[in-house]
Structure 1
Amino acid sequence: MKELGIGYAHGKIILMGEHAVVHGLPAISLPFYGAYVKTTVSKTDSVSTIHCSYFDGLLTEVPSELQGISILIETTLKYINKSNSSIHVDIESTLPANRGLGSSAAVSVSVVRGVIAAFGVELSEDELIELVNVAENIHHLNPSGLDVNTVIADLPLYFRRNHEKRHLPLKLKGYLVVADTGELGSTREAVADFAGKLHDNTDMISRMNRIGVLTDETLLNLYTGDMSKVGKAMLETHAILRDFSVSNDTLDRFVEIAMQYGALGAKLTGSGQGGCMIALAKDEESAETIALKLRESGAHQTWFYNLEGNINE
């Protein structure tokens, strides 16, 4: 039996379909290797403890932000018949939290992987997803499942809640620039705000359905390699999300700057109201220019995503 278990998980980028995916419409997402979460689990003879960037102490005394992880650890130990075992859980992350990059799902996945590795247990993908959803249902209001499924995926994903999950072996010419505004977003609040706009409002329901149409059009354009049309769909989607009040001034400004300096398209990514945006660039040189201008305009950090081979840089 192993005395030490290590679990890793990467983040996610939503290319198209955020928020609408919660309501059964399609989304396209990408695994984001530019940042990651690492969880190290060691067995101990005393009580269970946890260490991360903002808490170090007993698992039974975690703050509210970690309640989901605490329950997830207990649930995972029970699931593998190790409820009476005590462990120390150490979580390290380079993935910024509350930025729409799948941090909560990545932490949960890495924690489960670390726990089962410590005890030499293997789980199926479905079992892993079921366990991670214990925490996701606590952290978020009505999670679609997109984050978890993308965090455990190695390829881009076309996803419809409770309907379809298809991996996309795409090799495209172009880059995505990911830019962090440095402003915290709240998935729970943004999802609630989006849903509130739909209540008895046929116009907003139609606007949401348009996101679904744009997502399906984008899937076809990704296969044909028409990146100009992909970019236009991204820009239109951002405008719709802005109407739903899930963008903000910084995200709107970053989208405008990206377009000013040659982006084919740009939009917020994730839940919005802060967090990150993405911009589609035709080549590496264009991506470098866009990233530089975004950093000069206040972006806390930028990453490149090479769409040819799905490589993060």
Structure 2
Amino acid sequence: MKSSYLAHGKVILIGEHSVVYGYDALAMPINSLHIKTTVEPAPEMWMDTERYQGPFFMAPNEYNGLKYVVKKMLELAASTEQLKISYTGQIPIERGLGSSATVALATTRAMDDYFKLNLTEEQILAITNHAEMINHGKASGLDAATVNSNYLVFFNQKDGPRVLKAKLGATLLIMDTGELGSTKEAVMQVHDQIKASPQAADKLKRLGKLADRTKTSWLNHDAGQIGTYFNEAQEILCSFDLSTAKINQLQKIALAHQALGFKLSGSGLGGIVIALCKNHAVAQTIADHSQKIAVNSWIEEI
């Protein structure tokens, strides 16, 4: 017997960092980026990924979230069965594309199917988000909710995820800087600044407000206004020292070639950036001019 589950990645449009403190955020699934988890019987507990092949529970610490998921699911199944759990796909790690939430969700769902546990959506998301807490030190629940959704997600910790099915009528260019971001480090960096400065706390609140306004403009199909919110959000994220020289270079290129707005996405200190464009042609032009800096790019119609 074998069970598999395919889970997609995500990109945060606006509200990263502020969402950890209870403010709103807006994120969207990226169906073109996914990871498949396969669970099957084996002589011993075994993990098979591109970077690690070996005994499951002897995997490096970066897999601690997954170890939690597997232990929890075996416990819920009251099983001591030995399994091989394989991961295939192409979501770059530590870039803000939701790789850790994606593998946690896919593992939970594949094992739920394998053991016929019929867990509720709430249980599956709780397990996925607990794995995220282990991975990142603090997790809002946004990543888990978005990799589990087929639509745009408007999220805060109090109300949870709310789905937005409306399309904006614009194009999003996602570019990978190739720099590994550290969510844990970035979250602590912001936390320390907020603790030390009331002005920093005000900026974080403003970031949450920009997410609210982005949602309103999205429903009004006002891509130009959202572009201005992206640019202001980037200024705030820069003020927390989350940008890098590469991100700043990509910003200059994007805005010089008619991007409506530009910002980093995710925790920062590297990772991915997003440029909001009025159409595919503008996005492609920016991508072409960014080839020497970005290691990869994707264009999504939104």
For 1:95-244, list aligned pairs within 5 A. Answer: 95-244=91-240
* 2:262 pairs with 1:306: no
TM-score by length of 2: 0.97
* 2:9 pairs with 1:29: no
* 2:262 pairs with 1:266: yes
Q: Distance in 2 between matches of 1:76 and 1:39?
A: 14
The aligned counterpart of 2:50 is: 53
Q: Distance in 2 between matches of 1:259 and 1:153?
A: 31
Residues 7-40 of structure 1 deviation map (CA, whole Å, 9 limit, x = unaligned)? 1111111001000000111000001112111111
The aligned counterpart of 1:94 is: 90
The aligned counterpart of 2:290 is: 294
Q: Distance in 1 between matches of 2:264 and 2:285?
A: 19
Residues 158-180 of structure 1 deviation map (CA, whole Å, 9 limit, x = unaligned)? 10113342100112211000000
Aligned to 1:18, the other structure's residue is in SS state coil
Q: Is the 8 A contact 2:98 2:143 kept in 1?
A: yes
Of 160-169 and 15-24, more deviation after overlay is shown by 160-169
Aligned to 2:290, the other structure's residue is in SS state helix
Q: Write out the 4+ residue segments of structure 1 that deviate beyond 4 Å after TM superposition.
A: none
Q: Distance in 2 between matches of 1:267 and 1:209?
A: 17
The runs of 5 or more residues in structure 1 that have no matched partner are 308-313
* 2:272 pairs with 1:276: yes
Residues 71-129 of structure 1 deviation map (CA, whole Å, 9 limit, x = unaligned)? 211111111232x1111001112000000011100011111122122233322210101
Q: Distance in 1 between matches of 2:285 and 2:71?
A: 47
Q: Is the 8 A contact 2:246 2:293 kept in 1?
A: no
Q: Distance in 2 between matches of 1:34 and 1:65?
A: 24
Q: Is the 8 A contact 2:168 2:222 kept in 1?
A: no
TM-score by length of 1: 0.94
Q: Is the 8 A contact 1:266 1:279 kept in 2?
A: yes
Q: Distance in 1 between matches of 2:114 and 2:176?
A: 34
The aligned counterpart of 1:310 is: none
Aligned to 1:157, the other structure's residue is in SS state strand
Q: Is the 8 A contact 2:168 2:218 kept in 1?
A: yes
Compute the RMSD of aligned alpha carbons: 1.1
Q: Is the 8 A contact 1:43 1:118 kept in 2?
A: no
The aligned counterpart of 1:311 is: none
Residues 121-149 of structure 1 deviation map (CA, whole Å, 9 limit, x = unaligned)? 32221010111123212101211110000
The alignment of Structure 1 onto Structure 2 pairs a total of residues equal to 302
Q: Distance in 2 between matches of 1:70 and 1:120?
A: 20
Q: Distance in 1 between matches of 2:147 and 2:99?
A: 9
The aligned counterpart of 2:38 is: 40
The runs of 5 or more residues in structure 2 that have no matched partner are none
Residues 235-254 of structure 1 deviation map (CA, whole Å, 9 limit, x = unaligned)? 11001000001111111211
